[in-house]
Amino acid sequence: MRLYKGKTELIFEDASIIAKFYEKEILNPELLIVATPPSNHIYILISHGSSALGRYNSKSRFIENIEIKNIYGIHPRNAEQYFTMHVLINPNVLLTTITGSAGAGKTLIALAGALEQRSNFKQIYLA
């Protein structure tokens, strides 16, 4: 049994795709020659030294640019941490499972996400 990773890395020869993605902040998945992805699927777009991070929104049917920001003073160190922080502060994502090796920052990011969202909930449990 394989665990769903939730992300796909796409490498392009045409760097204008990433430039257009940053400009419009959305991208039609058909331009990437991708079948309809599952909701919240993450894409790492790479082309000649530039890159972008995007998430498929099943409601809009577009890949949306992931806004990169610190949460509660914590700055992500890699793409996986960016994705995790993004879903933790997204009010439309009601359940998130975080997996990874020891020391990857799972607990720190989960706690920072909970503190960032504390005004939206009556209680927060950390186990």
pLDDT in tens, 28-69: 777 776 677 787 788 888 888 888 888 888 888 888 888 767
Residue 65 is predicted with a pLDDT of 84
- Sequence-ordered alpha helix ranges (H) in 1-127: 16-24, 79-88, 106-116
Domain match, 61 and 77 both: no
DSSP string, 14-82: -THHHHHHHHHSEE-GGGGT---PPTT-EEEEEETTEEEEEEEETTTTEEEEPPP--BTTB---SHHHH
Q: Which domain holds residue 109?
A: 67-127
**Of 22, 46, 65, which residue constitutes the final position of a domain?**
65
Contact 3, 23 (CB under 8 A): no
Say whether pLDDT at 102 is over 90.
yes
Domain match, 79 and 106 both: yes
Please give the mean pLDDT across all residues of the chain: 83
- The domain tally of the chain equals 2
**Of 20, 42, 65, which residue constitutes the final position of a domain?**
65
* Chain centroid offset of residue 94 CA: 15
Domain match, 11 and 38 both: yes
